[in-house]
Structure 1
């Protein structure tokens, strides 16, 4: 018999097996089907299959923080486990005033819910309302002005413009605030009759407020009206005669009640006409009405200029302040007339008094003398009554002379006031010329009064460029061509020669003709002796005189001079490495030579660069 297990005809949740047994001894096959019910294994949370009673089952992904918890329950807000999509979850501790809100999001400033550590939360970004952007409730002293505050400067200083109660500084608040213009502030005790006025100013005499309370003891106070002429004195006391203040109803007040001092005891003025000579009066005849006696009704003595013509005093007129030298009534109170010495404006041309006349500066009829009237008046040398300048008397009534601007016989020129010894027409009325000893500015460079060369002023009044040999000696390390030039400049300035100077020295890259200016007027030693007419003239191998004079004008003997040149003035190979090293050799010239040896004594005589030699220095053209 064979056993055959076949699957059941239906698949159900319980496993059913069919066993088929075949009997081997039977002739015919007999099939027996047996259904065996095998119970299925029970499901478990975490097997990945959703079983009854489970909300979820993510297999091995179940657990804390997952969508599906370890007990196959869905992770939801409020279960105490922070699941996906949740920021927090404190379980039963969730709340809109807690750190984790009911929707499992963190409670933050600006969400409109007042959470832990927040004093407020108005869900906006306005920083100056009742709740600022840090969720702190507004308060006086936080430096932010919020209703109902008038100000908030963040401090507790009551003497500035914002008090510690966040109120704007104001007179009467009891705090002295200088920036608000207050000098005092007694709060509710401020009063215009007290020590501190309603305007918070200390009570003072002259403020127009009667200060009687507190320390006040004023009898009156009329403000700016206090003082002279007022009923209230400058000390805020009532005015009385004799207090020294001229009050209302007083004509004077000299601080006493004595008569005879210009102010009587009742503070009225002692006036002219009372018959008493008071202070300031010259006389007092009681104002008798006679203006022309010895005392006027002004209590003054008669005087010229008082506007009264006192005949007894010899006055012919007296218009008072109108007396003047130029008017019809003179300062002496006499009528103006020709010869009185006063110029009557508009009537007289002149008036020299007793000096009027033919020989004076004013004629006897008070007219001015004129050149050309045929009479020799004062200040005139001659007067021939014509305007001919060539007849011995010019039209200005002067004898002809050099400098009068009129070219006369014997004069080469006459520029009048422009004649000058430095100009084209000299003070002696001669045309300026080279050799006259006068420097014609702009035309002559010099003028030594001769037309000879060799004296530092050429025959044509030009100046040769100067030359000297240095009194100092130097090694061949001169600092190059420019360093040598600086040494020449230094020696020239030490001797006060002025000008621009360069050294007569050469290198293969800087032959002498590149840095020595050609002279238009020749070269001469500083003692005036010429050595050559031009730069080109020095290239013929000779000079007219040896360069044996130093910058001070002292004559030297024979010395070697650094040159770095051949006899034809071309650069020599021996030049102390461009005059920058003391270890090679350099060509030299001889101070006493006038032939080619003045620049080159030969290669055989080249000097060690460590030895000290002199320099030829040549002045350059002015810049």
Structure 2
């Protein structure tokens, strides 16, 4: 581009941003305004005029004759235009908005040069040339003549790009050199280099050296010889032989190293230097090697070959090993180890509570301290080291299997009820009201617990009964209150009633026992224990009914095995109204839990 030019794109196409006179097509929006409202506002972007978007149809405008009109498809048309009838000065009126048919949207006839492409009639309708491909492959132009493209594609002027632009079979003619090519020159290190032609078709100042080749010289002027190759011809390089010793290779004329590494001569160093499969051959022994011999105490000793490849006279005993022998000839066996192989000794267990035993293993180290096989006494210590203290000793009492006894008395009278002590509780008494008969009844519940006495060793255990849940009363309000309650730490184990199907329940009798807890060997048992005199309610009227039933915990087998366990009454069931019509009991196992 010359100093007095705004631009120079090498072609004479109008409207492409750089005009044929090398001036910008536009520099502001005002340069692009055609004064027509309907085709939108033109803008200037990148020195190229950009057409605007047609305004909305119906926008007021002035026709070419100065009359008021309205915009239709980017053209200003008379108000009557578009009704499908030719009127006034209209050349035509086809009633549509198309500008690609015989009649334009402003009711003028389509013609070449109206800036609209007539479908099926015109190839082009513009003053601007179009790009095309020349015969030499460059981008040329062709003009729109009489609304048809010229057949010939005009070649552009030659530019500096390494190509033939003007189709004259010459490249970058008129410039100093062809862009991207080079010419021969001599580098600073004396090799034959090249000087390249830049993208501006001017030769570069430096002579570029060639790539390095295998020739024993510095070709690329980097002060290095034959870099990038394995070696420099004629030089000797170190290498590792097949047997691992330092050897040598001679570089060949083609900068390659031979596959084989030449080993050195054998020396006294305990290694195979010359790769013949033998170490220190030609010497008295292999340096550092071990020669077997018998010591003065009969153990297997060694002689060490010296660094000068000579054999010493003395037989060195081995270190003491774990084998119940004197290996190092010091008259002691397995000394230096924790223990003598396979002996046993006492120890303190990992839980720190008892003394166990340990065995010296085959490595002469003590094995783990083994505690007792199992707990044998309740003493507050983890004797068998299983993480649990006194794991067989009693901790609590729970209830297990249950069994309802029969219902006695007037079994069809009153309303049924069922009062069973909840959870792990059992029956410890009966409260109620009565006169000539039992008017009503209320069960009294207690919770069996284990009491541990740590003031003695082994610990002592006792059966205790804690307060239980309050239960509801069933029956009438007649008679006087009575209370049949077992002594402290006793539980009810048997129930007997007087009554008949006519009179209902007329008498009650309750038997109580105090179970005991027995600890022996590795087991604990809950035994029935001692009994207490019977508790009973007798009617105030005579003669009373006979005792009609007896429900006893001691006679009840539990489960499929029929195993007899310690049991107690756990509640009552029956029927009541104004009197106690019928009554029965329920039994439950008492199970001692560790």
TM-score using structure 1 length: 0.24
Bigger helix share: 1
Higher relative contact order (CA 8 A, sep 6+): 2
